[in-house]
């Protein structure tokens, strides 16, 4: 299919998610968008490359879902409300069936978060998908990496290691002599974590005003917690055996591999956030809209498995970066 008919297909399908603040969407040289008065724009971009960020052979709908999900996860980590996105597609051929599948996954997640696709670019080349998302956050309310303090407690929003477990099973299935069918050797529950991450947008928004720092876990909790520590000038002690999500991995992995998957496996897209404890926490809770509604367990039943971390000045362990 030619580039123009692909764009027509995208435009027709994208029209199902209309927003009043899109003055002009797909079809002109640029989109015209009306941000709400007084709000800051939060902008994030992420790219998925075939064979690097998803196994070759991943269903088009799963690629579409994930391309948007990883971006919404970045907005979630800032506590922003998603609104608009743009999509740059590099496609090896203009296969309309692939495009329809891709849009099924992409737009299902866009609808779930009321995100409008307002433009993009379509080129020919190796399969690669870049998405930019735009969201709103009130001035001073964004969740940043540099706000954590010694003494804070560290939380994660859900199970870790599932996506990495699926990749590990996929990699093993590729061993010589095992032939086709490697996809079937992946536990479907783990595969779901890899292919259909659920960005914690509602939790991120609820945490504005209560969390002191936040990051989404895309590179593994060790690395990502390390980024927060480095930005905040603190250290953290991580109890890997207390991380949530072990049950899903235990049928397939144990010992050091299980711990490694949980601590260093990327692609889970849960949130890792800090909260002040003691008097500071009470102050934070009493302050403003995030208040009680921001308590993670109250918001998200899968949420906030409490991992027993504790921030201590200069008490670095388990891979947190030395500031
Ligand atoms: P131009 O040459 O002016 O950049 P294009 O032919 O690339 O225009 O695109 C035409 C319109 O289609 C633009 O509004 C552009 O934003 C939109 N568009 C192109 N590719 C995509 C895509 N993959 N997803 C969403 N919108 C797209
Ligand atoms: Mg163009």
pLDDT tens sequence across 126-143? 999 999 999 999 999 999
- Return the exposure string of 220-257: e unless at least 16 CB atoms fall within 10 Å of the residue's CB, then b: bbbbbbbbbbbbbebbbebebeebbbbebbeebbeeee
Ligand nearest to the CA of 132: 1
Residues pairing with 122 in the sheet? 89
Residue 285 pLDDT > 90: no
Alpha-carbon span 312 to 151, nearest angstrom: 6
Q: Is 7 in the pocket of ligand 1 (CB under 6 A)?
A: yes
Pairing of strands 40-49, 81-91: unpaired
Q: Is the pLDDT of residue 19 over 90?
A: yes
Burial status of residue 291 (CB atoms within 10 A of its CB: 0-12, 13-18, 19 or more): middle
Tell me: the pLDDT tens digits for 238-267? 899 999 999 999 999 999 999 999 999 999
**Can you give the pTM of this predicted structure?**
0.86
**20 within ligand 1 shell (Cβ under 6 A):** no
With a 6 Å cutoff on the Cβ, whether 121 touches ligand 1 is yes
pLDDT of 79 higher than 50: yes
Structure tokens at 265: 């496996």
3-class state of residue 50 by DSSP: strand
Contacts (Cβ under 8 Å, ≥6 apart) of 278: 151
Strand, helix or coil for residue 208:
coil
pLDDT tens, residue by residue, 204-246: 999 999 999 999 999 999 999 999 999 999 999 889 999 999 9
What are the helix (H) ranges across the chain? 3-14, 60-78, 96-112, 162-173, 188-195, 201-207, 221-232, 246-249, 255-264, 279-286, 296-299
Identical fold at 3-137 and 153-312? Answer: no
Q: Are strands 22-24 and 211-216 parallel, antiparallel or unpaired?
A: unpaired
9 lines ligand 1 (CB under 6 A): no
**63 Cβ closer than 6 Å to some ligand 1 atom:** no
Nearest to 62 by CA among 32, 7, 14, 104: 104
- Which one of 14, 26, 48 would you pick to mutate in the ligand 1 pocket, going by the greatest count of ligand atoms within 8 A of its CB? 26
Closest ligand 1 atom to 14 CA: 25
Q: Where are the chain's structural domains?
A: 3-137, 153-312
CATH code matching the domain that covers 3-137, chosen among 3.30.1330.10, 3.20.20.100, 3.30.420.10, 3.60.90.10: 3.30.1330.10
**Backbone CA torsion sign across 104, 110, 115, 119:** negative
Kindly report the CATH number that applies to the domain delimited by 153-312: 3.90.650.10
CA distances from residue 107 to 5, 17, 164 in whole angstroms, order as listed: 18, 8, 25
């Amino acid at each position: 299919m030619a580039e123009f008919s692909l764009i027509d297909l995208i435009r027709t399908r994208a029209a199902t998610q209309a927003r009043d603040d899109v003055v002009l969407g797909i079809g002109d040289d640029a989109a015209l968008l009306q941000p709400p008065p007084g709000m800051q724009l939060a902008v994030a971009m992420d790219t998925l490359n075939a064979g690097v960020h998803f196994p070759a052979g991943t269903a088009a709908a799963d690629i579409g879902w994930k391309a948007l999900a990883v971006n919404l996860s970045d907005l979630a980590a800032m506590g922003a409300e998603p609104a608009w996105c743009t999509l740059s597609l590099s496609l090896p051929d203009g296969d309309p069936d692939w495009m329809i599948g891709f849009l099924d996954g992409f737009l299902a997640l866009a609808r779930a978060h009321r995100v409008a696709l307002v433009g993009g670019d379509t080129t020919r080349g190796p399969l690669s998908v870049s998405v930019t998302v735009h969201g709103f956050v009130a001035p001073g309310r964004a969740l940043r990496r540099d706000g954590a303090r010694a003494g804070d407690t560290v939380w994660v929003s859900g199970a870790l290691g599932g996506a990495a477990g699926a990749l590990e099973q996929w990699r093993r299935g590729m061993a010589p002599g095992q032939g086709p069918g490697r996809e079937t050797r992946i536990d479907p529950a783990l595969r779901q974590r890899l292919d259909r991450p659920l960005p914690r947008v509602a939790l991120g928004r609820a945490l504005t005003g209560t969390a002191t720092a936040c990051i989404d876990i895309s590179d593994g909790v060790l690395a990502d917690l390390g980024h927060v520590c480095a930005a905040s000038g603190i250290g953290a002690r991580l109890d890997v055996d207390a991380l949530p999500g072990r049950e899903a991995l235990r049928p397939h992995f144990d010992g050091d591999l299980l711990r490694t998957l949980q601590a260093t496996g990327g692609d889970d897209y849960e949130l890792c956030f800090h909260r002040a404890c003691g008097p500071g926490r009470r102050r934070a809770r009493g302050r403003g809209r995030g208040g009680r509604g921001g308590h993670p367990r109250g918001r998200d039943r899968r949420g906030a498995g409490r991992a027993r971390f504790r921030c201590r000045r200069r008490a670095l362990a388990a891979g947190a970066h030395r500031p």
